[in-house]
Amino acid sequence: MRTLRTYVLREHLAPFFVTLGGLTAVLLVGNIVKFAELVIAKGVNLFDVLRLLIYLVPYMLSFTVPMACVIAIIFAFGRLSTDYELIAMRASGVAPIRLVTPLLVVSLIISAALLIVNDRLVPASHLAFRRQLKAIGIKKPAAYLESGIFIKEFTPYVIFVYQVEGQKLHNVRIYEPQPNGPTRTIIAESGEFTRSADQRGVQLRLYQGTVDEQDPSRPGAFYKVNFDSYAMTLRADQTDPDSVGRKIKEMNFKDLWLERRRLRADGVDTAPISLELHRKIATSFAATVFVVFGLALGLRLGHHERLATFIWILGFFVTYYVANIGMNAIALKAWLPAWLAMWIPNLVGLIVGSVMLWRARQ
């Protein structure tokens, strides 16, 4: 029996890693197309963009690993069924259900590994991604800008550009809200970014426009001044990547626990933090839920049922993650406790998978 179990586990190994690599690559393709524009059109260093892609991988693992687990099971049991090995096992008095235990143990090990990934790698990589993106914005500020969007990263300015062509900006609007008075506005037909002389920031040089200047005769008021060329400097201390603060998603379990305790002491609602804490834990065990479901399908797999089985898998995958999104919204509205909302998809998935597995055993 030990030899047989080892054989079945080995049959799952290759499909798992091939599927994991393929799914991760597919998810990266959309980002590769998007980031390619930074290299081709905006002159961003290729290695800086590659770092962005690498930082995305840990987050993707929380989706691709459970999916790879269930697809590997279908491929492995599909081959065993096609080669009549499952029939041979039954004829020899070995029920295929007895092969389920080692696969469930492996799924728990994978879930424990995902727990570490969600605790350590995902928060660190998410923060590193935002810092790398901001670092690119410092070296190539035009890459940080997108036409038709209000850019608020260059505090205290709000920048709006109608058209971006490489390093050139066209039809630029810059707003500087004042604490006590009207918003200061700068309008220019075009502009470009350059490194400042002291290398501590970036310089935005604007051409053909108007700028609001303080009116000395009327405090708090402005008057318009026309210019052919106007330079303004954004200091590195305003855009320093290391100054990027951590969001809730970028905290590990310990940080979330301490932050929740601190906010509770201050009388602040900690529902978002509790939700993120339980979300990280619950989604780590999605691999186990998917393995149970995959085993139920794999043991019932016939010779010509792979297409229908993959449709079942896709439906289960979509339903599971849509349920997670729905439970997240319900928990934020305080209709259910955070821990219950985040664990309901897992509990329902395990019940459905266990019932199907029990029927497959019959």
Q: Give the pLDDT mean for 133-142.
A: 70
Angle between helices 286-299 and 306-332 (to 10 degrees): 150
Asked if residue 310 and residue 271 are part of one domain, the reply reads: yes
Letter string b/e over residues 160-186, b meaning 16 or more CB atoms within 10 A of that residue's CB: ebeebeebebeebebbeeeeeeeebeb
Domain that holds residue 17: 2-138+251-361
Is residue 294 one of the residues assigned to a domain?
Answer: yes
- Residues 235 and 289 placed together within one structural domain of the fold: no
Cis amide prior to 241 (ω within 30 degrees):
no
**Does the pLDDT at position 240 exceed 60?**
no
Nearest-angstrom CA–CA distance, 32 and 36: 6
Q: Are residues 15 and 99 in the same domain?
A: yes
> According to the model, what pLDDT value does residue 206 have?
92
Both 134 and 263 in a single domain?
yes
Structure tokens at 289: 């839920």
In a shared domain, residues 181 and 131: no
Angle subtended by helix axes 271-284 and 338-361, to nearest 10? 20
The pLDDT, as a whole number, for residue 97 is 65
Which of these three, 240, 267, 285, is where a domain ends?
Answer: 240
Question: Could you give the number of structural domains in the chain?
Answer: 2
In one letter, which amino acid is 350? L
222 and 278 assigned to the same domain: no
Residue pLDDT, tens place only, 245-257: 677 888 889 888 8
Render pLDDT for 5-41 as a digit per residue (tens, 0 to 9): 677 778 788 889 999 999 998 888 877 777 776 666 5
Quote the percentage of the chain above a pLDDT of 90. 25
pLDDT at 290: 92
| Same domain assignment for residues 200 and 257 | no
Given this model, what pLDDT does residue 237 score? 47
**Residue 361 pLDDT class (50, 70, 90 cuts):** low
* Rounded mean pLDDT, 260-277: 84
Q: Do 213 and 112 belong together in one domain?
A: no
In a domain, 149, yes or no: yes
Question: Is residue 19 a part of any domain in this protein?
Answer: yes
Confidence of residue 94 (pLDDT cuts 50, 70, 90): low
**Greatest mean pLDDT among 144-153, 211-220, 345-354:** 345-354
- In this structure, is residue 245 part of a structural domain? no
Helix, strand, or coil (residue 210): strand
Location of structure tokens 């690119």 = 136
State which of 184, 211, 240 marks the end of a domain: 240
* Residues 133, 271 share a domain: yes
Q: What are phi and psi of 220, to 5 degrees?
A: 90, -5
Q: What is the pLDDT of residue 86?
A: 66
CB neighbours (10 Å) of residue 289? 27
Same-domain status, 118 and 8: yes
Extract the tokens encoding 86: 């499952």
Do residue 134 and residue 149 come from a single domain? no
Contact 104, 346 (CB under 8 A): no
Domain match, 155 and 234 both: yes
Rg (CA), the chain: 28
